[in-house]
Amino acid sequence: MVKLSQIKYVRPDKDEVLAKLDGFKNRFNNAQTLQEFYSVHDEYKDYSEKLGTNIRIAFIRFTQDTRDEFYAQEQDYLDEVSPEFSVAMAEISKCYLNTPFRPELEKRFPKVMFKNLQMGVDASDPRIIDEQVEQNKLTTAYTKLMSSIVIDFNGEKLPMSGIRKYFTNPDRELRRGAYMAFGQAIEDNKEQLDELYDKLVKIRTVMGRKLGYENFSPLGYLQMQRNCYGKEDVARFRENVLKYLVPLAAKLRSKVAKDLGWDVQRVYDMDVYTKEEPRPIGTPEEMFASASKMYNEMSEETGKLFDTMVESECFDVMSREGKWGGGYCEGLPEYKLPFILSNWNGSAGDVDVLTHEFGHALEFYKSFFIESEFLSSISMETAEVHSMSMEFLAYPWIDLFFGDKTEEYKFYHIGGALTFIPYGTIVDYFQQTCYDNPDMTPAERNAFYNKIEKQFLPWMTTEGIPAISDGRRWQRQAHIFESPFYYIDYCFAQFTALQFLALSQQDYKAAFEKYIKFLNYGGTKTYVELLEACGLKSPFEEESFKLVVASVEKILGL
């Protein structure tokens, strides 16, 4: 069994890779028979998986320690060459789209693959390579900046991810102090953060306009593989969030405030739902033992995957200085292994991120065996259903992690899921507005963020907190810098995951089987088609909101 530390990284030589990809393109175009085309396809799949794994190993090691000079340099190199690789791969995608064998290919591969390949071709244009290189450099600069911040608080030196453990502390003064320190860290770096995002908006606007669009938004939608909904659908979802979910979330937060005796709910109260903080019990090693028990009892497949990942060193969960501040799951297709990175800090969020990322890991693992996935992967709102639903499907075993605080954890977790959707909607609304109005100044962006935060989170005040009260809370959200338009996906997915929660409360076995059915499709259907195939409600229909709200109200006893 391979271990992550044993996997060798070799810098991919740009000229060699481009020559190899060009060779594949020529062989595809010159294929005289369908069998010859498929033979090249098999070779290309193998090469693509090895190249992708190599590049991801470099990224993983860079994020494990952003101060590592070797992997920092490798990441800089890959930021520079990867846009050229993408363009070359888009040329190969054209081979699948334009081959005279396409009617035969459409019998073997799912229809959505061809749609996704076309979107990829449209998004990977050689005219914007220089801008993509610059974009990569700017997003890496953001990662390095945020990873380098160390906050002195409560006798500890904490990274940005580490200070968050205090946001759920039952001591309100301690939470306030933590948020003050957190806000001050953003305030101290505001010029760089403003400059980085301003440059990103402008460089992405140039990219969009070079391809004939008015701004970056249409290109951003292509890059995010929005293959079954558009800007208007998102706007309709936003309206229904405001109409149905914001009032329900406000009702929930009002109950929390009354129970805890707050006259005013402040930003540092938003992660608190109960009088006592539901913290996971046991050492990290004991938590992994509990997770192994949970996944082995959940199903044979989940148990085997979890234990294999542990044995293969495919978990890096503890927060530390220099480590990338978020959480993610990455796939290593050459070895059929997913890898999970997160930043445990002793809060309930440690369990959230473990179950969430393992949902992604399960999806990665299944997709390794779907032939078309290397060409046309799952779109992100679908992938986030896998992760967010797994958080709820862990409930029958959640007492392993929380003991006598299990009910408090469930209230915190479901409440957090509900109130997340308005927040996630804000993040997307903010990005949409910034890219639709690229000449906004940093001050105008912050003012707009403040305005919509008050609209979608009317129960909360940010008064008195450095940077946060000025509308800079968005600057902690890495997606806004690194992955434009990747956030509303979480909202759609949470909407679907809440349905899995409701179903699991009625019949867990049937809900889990439906979840596995959803995963087994991989990227062979669009998100909307998947919902229909699995009997789930669409977030683009108003009636769906009424049903989801009624279910959550009942579960939370509101």
Closest CA to 101 of 116, 120, 90, 114: 114
Does 315 score more than 90 pLDDT?
Answer: yes
Count of all residues that appear for the chain in the document? 558
**What are the phi and psi torsion angles at 95 (to 5°)?**
-60, -40
Which domain range does residue 88 map to?
Answer: 4-124
Q: 6-49, pLDDT tens digit by residue?
A: 999 999 999 999 999 999 999 999 999 999 999 999 999 999 99
pLDDT in the model for residue 369: 95
Instruction: Examine residue 365 and state whether it is found in any structural domain, yes or no.
Output: no
Q: What number is the average pLDDT over the span 435-449?
A: 97
pLDDT in the model for residue 326: 80
pLDDT in the model for residue 1: 84
Q: 63-86, pLDDT tens digit by residue?
A: 999 999 999 999 999 999 998 999
% residues pLDDT > 90 (the chain): 94
Please, is 388 exposed, middle or buried when counting C-beta atoms within 10 Å of its C-beta (0-12, 13-18, 19+)? buried
pLDDT in the model for residue 345: 87
Which residue type occupies 76?
A: D
pLDDT in the model for residue 558: 84
What is the number of structural domains in the chain? 1
Q: 221-262, pLDDT tens digit by residue?
A: 999 999 999 999 999 999 999 999 999 999 999 999 999 999
How sure is the predictor about 299, in pLDDT bands with cuts at 50, 70 and 90? very high
Instruction: Give Cα 285 to chain centroid, integer Å.
Output: 26
**What's this model's pTM, rounded to 2 decimal places?**
0.91
Instruction: Examine residue 91 and state whether it is found in any structural domain, yes or no.
Output: yes
Which residue's entry shows tokens 């992690």? 401
Cβ atoms of 186 and 193 within 8 Å: the answer is yes
Cβ atoms of 121 and 97 within 8 Å: the answer is yes
pLDDT in the model for residue 276: 86
Bridge partners of residue 339, in order along the sequence: 330
Q: 391-414, pLDDT tens digit by residue?
A: 999 999 999 999 999 999 999 999
Instruction: Examine residue 78 and state whether it is found in any structural domain, yes or no.
Output: yes
Closest CA to 391 of 426, 352, 346: 352
How sure is the predictor about 376, in pLDDT bands with cuts at 50, 70 and 90? confident
Instruction: Examine residue 77 and state whether it is found in any structural domain, yes or no.
Output: yes
Q: CA dist 27 to 124, 126, 482, Å?
A: 21, 21, 35
Instruction: Examine residue 340 and state whether it is found in any structural domain, yes or no.
Output: no
Which residue type occupies 431?
A: Q
Q: 317-329, pLDDT tens digit by residue?
A: 998 888 988 889 9
Instruction: Examine residue 41 and state whether it is found in any structural domain, yes or no.
Output: yes
Instruction: Examine residue 118 and state whether it is found in any structural domain, yes or no.
Output: yes
Q: What number is the average pLDDT over the span 313-318?
A: 96
Closest CA to 3 of 258, 439, 309: 309
Instruction: Examine residue 47 and state whether it is found in any structural domain, yes or no.
Output: yes
Cα gap 129→137, rounded to integer Å: 13
Q: What number is the average pLDDT over the span 121-138?
A: 92
**Residue 322: CA count within 13 A, CB half-sphere:** 10
Across all residues in the chain, what is the average pLDDT? 95
